[in-house]
Structure formats: structure tokens, C-alpha cells
Structure 1
Amino acid sequence: MIEPETRMNAPNPITSIAVTLLLALCSYRLYVVLKRRPCLYLEGSSPPTRSLAVFLGSGGHTSEALHLLSSLDFTRYTPRRYIVSEGDHLSAQKAIALEQAKYSSHESPKSGHEYIIITIPRARRVHQSLFSTPLSTLWSLLACIYYLTIEPAFSLRTQTKMLTDVLILNGPGTCTTLCIAVIFNRFLGLPSPRVIYVESFARVHSLSASGRLLRPLVDRFIVQWPQLLQYGKRGDYVGWLI
């Protein structure tokens, strides 16, 4: 008795070549995006105002970020967007308190008093299981892509089609999804903010997990302790900012 011959469907060589070329092009595009970071300062132009966004990572991260912003001229950096994690009501309240303090101190209160608080899902909650972390991180990333990519593209009031000119990050983990959303914009050739990461003052001898991940991705990486830049690693030491 002759058994029927079993044949396996051989992969289509044209499909394999097309997939290989697509992966190669995507890899090259990503390399170019990460290699050619946009300049933080545009030569030959000095606009009177710049929009600014900052991620408030709760607790000490929020205090440090707001301390950085408190020294800025709000009439020049406007409008401002405070990005907080879902459920972090205290950070939102502190941002409002800072705005009110600045508002009362301005000679012309109407100038520069424009701000928005944006809430995004957390990438990972405290004590969250590793099993559910990828799903929550993906949900957080999709929300960041919405605010950085989709909403500006369809907003008639956003002339530059960009959420903000400058985005300041200083941890914790949810700021990683914000940075990835910026990289996504640049991968597609869309307008994207300049990203500045300021490592926490509490990180004296080693970088945080977010710092290690985002150091090669952000436009400027700032530390407040010189030993964090040992062995010639990328970054700028600017002294104590807090």
C-alpha cells in the first residue's frame, strides 16, 4: 500500500525577500532617527514663546520637576502641559498650585497663564505583577501616541501640529512610553518635541532604570552628580538643579 505523499508548503521566496527588505528598511530608518537627533536650539530664529510639557512622576519626581519649572519665565514658556499618571491626583494639585503662585506673582497675569493637565495610564503600578505589565505598558503607550500623534494631527487649533516644543522627563517608568511615542513620530517623519531627561537628584552613584533606558533615546540627558558620567558615557553634568 502506497502512502500518500505529504508535502509541506514551501515559503514563497518573493514574500521572504519582501519581508527581509521591509525589516531592513525599518531598521535603517530607526537607526537614522536615533542617530540624527533634532537640534534643541534653532539657529537664526528666536520665537518669543515656546510650549513646554513636563511629566510628573509622583512623589519626589513631581517635586523635582515642579522645582525645575518654578524658576522659568511662564510668559515665555507657554502654553504648558503637565502630564500625570492615572490616579495621581496629588501631582495634579501641586501643578495647579504652582500655576496659581506664578499667576499671582505676574505683573500681567493674563500673559502666559495657559496650562493643561493631561492624564495617561500608568505603564506599571507599584507591586504590579510582571505578567500583566506588558499589557498595561502597551495601553500607556497607545495613550501617549494618541496625545503626541493623533490628537495634534486632527486639531485645528494646533498650528504646529505638535503637542509641545519641549518635553521634560525625570522618571519614573511611564516616561519611557512617552519617549517611545516621540520616537514613533520621528520614525514616521511627523513633528515631534525635543526631549530632555533630567536624572533625579537622588541618583548619586547609579542611574535609574528609566535613565539607563532613555539615555540613548533622548535629545539631551542631564545628571546632577558628575560620577554618573564616568567612562565617557553620554550626558551633561550641570550641577545641582534642585
Structure 2
Amino acid sequence: MYPPAWLLVVVALTFGIIARICVIIAFPKDGASRRRDQKGTCHLAVFLGSGGHSSEALTLVSTLDFSRYTPRTYLLSEGDSLSATKAVALERLKAASKQSLDPIGEYQILTIPRARRVHQNLLTIPVTALRSLLASFYYVTLAPRLLGDSSKADVNVILLNGPGTCFVLCVAAYINRFLGLPSPRLVYVETFARVRTLSLTGKLLRPIADKFIVQWPNLLQDGGRGECHGWLV
């Protein structure tokens, strides 16, 4: 007796999805946006994880040439008004300096629901994580297409350094790769506070980030992938 046709279809789709995921994980850069021309601009998105994470991320961004890394998108968790204020202050400082010819208007601040709150009940985390993923999927995948000119709206690089919500952003980027759409390159910089062991977010993103950077060489003693360029913040 042969199995029903619907079962064969389900099995074939399951194997196809698994195979596609394996290829994307094995060759993560194949789905990422191609390297821009040296004279071209790069749409940079930066996740501000609040507190020390935001300060570190903004310190990294402050060293960049804003006339090249434009436009800029600051992604932050809902309720984090302090990070938004710091981002605006950095933009005004760069616009007022002679180091940047880029007008102050070439940036935007977007809010993403938190994937997990401190002391949140474990049973409710799947709900908040899904809400965060849907918002990230909208910004990374749907919004560029809805704007009508995805070549200008697509983010080229996402800079991350934690905490957990940035993992959801990476999942959204990988959805693009699964669908064969342009996907931002993922650059993860482990927080300066992590000296001996990686953070949970770092452990999750180490296999899938296009660039995984730590600031302390001890974090690479296990022989895993990653780069160390010393103190960056």
C-alpha cells in the first residue's frame, strides 16, 4: 500500500526546507548583500540594546564616515527613550562637525517590541518573541518592498552587540536569505564586558553572523570562529 499523496508532499517540502536551511547556514555570505563599491554608500542599521550596549554601539558608529554610511537606521527596543536620545545627539554632533558632509536628515529611528523582558515569565516568551520577530520581518523584508525602491531601502549591514532582541533581527535577515531576497550582512561585536565567556546572544549568533568580533582574545581560545581586534570601545 502506497502512502497518501499529501504525506509525500509534506515529506518533500520538509526535506526541501531542511536542505535550504543547511545550505544557508553552511554558506551564510551567499545570501548577504554583496560588497558595495568603494565609492558607493552603505545603508547601515545599528541595534541599540539599551544601557551599556547602546553606548558601545554608538561609540563604534561614531568612528564611521557618515557621508559613506548613509542612510542610517537605529533600531531600539520599545520604551528605550534614552537610546533614542543618544542616537539623535550623535547625529547632531556629526552633522555639526566638519568630519561629515551628510545632512542630519539621513537617518531614522525605529522601535522593535522586546523579545524578552527582565524577569519575564518563561511561558509568555514565545508570544513576545513572535511579536518582535514580526516587527523585525516587516522592517527587514516587507518595508523595503512596500516603499517601491528596495535597492535604496534595503539595509546593507546590521551592526549588533546584544542583547536578546538582536537575535530576532538575525532570524529576520535569514528569512530573506531563505526566500532568496537581498539580505543585510550581520556584524556582531561582543560586548566589552565579556572577558572570559561569551554572552548567550554571542553563543547563539557565533555560527550565523557574517562577522563575529570579540574584544578579548580569551574568548577565542576554544578555537571557534571569530576575530579579535582588541578594544574597540
Range class of TM-score, shorter chain: over 0.9
In the superposition, relative to structure 1, how do residues 170 and 77 fare at CA in structure 2: closer, same or farther (>3 Å)? same
Say whether the 8 Å CA contact 2:67–2:101 is kept in structure 1.
Answer: no
SS in 2 for 1:28: helix
After TM superposition, the runs of 4+ consecutive aligned structure 1 residues lying more than 6 A away are none
The residue type equivalent to 1:213 in the other structure is: L
> What is the RMSD of the two structures over their aligned residues, measured on CA atoms?
2.1
Say whether the 8 Å CA contact 1:167–1:194 is kept in structure 2.
Answer: yes
Q: For residues 195-233 of structure 1, what are the alpha-carbon distances to aligned partners after superposition, in whole Å with 9 as ceiling and x for unaligned?
A: 000000000000001011111111010000111111210
More helix by share: 2
Is the aligned partner of 1:63 residue 2:62? no
Q: For residues 142-167 of structure 1, what are the alpha-carbon distances to aligned partners after superposition, in whole Å with 9 as ceiling and x for unaligned?
A: 000011111111112443451x1110
SS in 2 for 1:77: coil
> Which of 71, 78, 90 is matched with 2:70 structurally?
78
TM-score, normalization by structure 2: 0.93
**Equivalenced residues, count:** 232
Specify the alignment match of 1:22 in structure 2: 13
**Which of structures 1 and 2 has the bigger CA Rg?**
1
> Which of 139, 142, 148 is matched with 1:150 structurally?
142
Specify the alignment match of 1:89 in structure 2: 81
Structure 2 stretches lacking a partner, 5+ long:
none
In the superposition, relative to structure 1, how do residues 73 and 161 fare at CA in structure 2: closer, same or farther (>3 Å)? closer
TM-score, normalization by structure 1: 0.90
Structure ranking higher on relative contact order (CA contacts 8 Å, 6+ apart): 2
Structure 1 stretches lacking a partner, 5+ long:
1-9
SS in 1 for 2:222: helix
> Which of 213, 218, 222 is matched with 1:231 structurally?
222
Specify the alignment match of 2:198 in structure 1: 207
Cα displacement (A) at 1:21: 1.2
Percent of aligned positions with the same letter in both sequences?
A: 52
SS in 2 for 1:50: coil
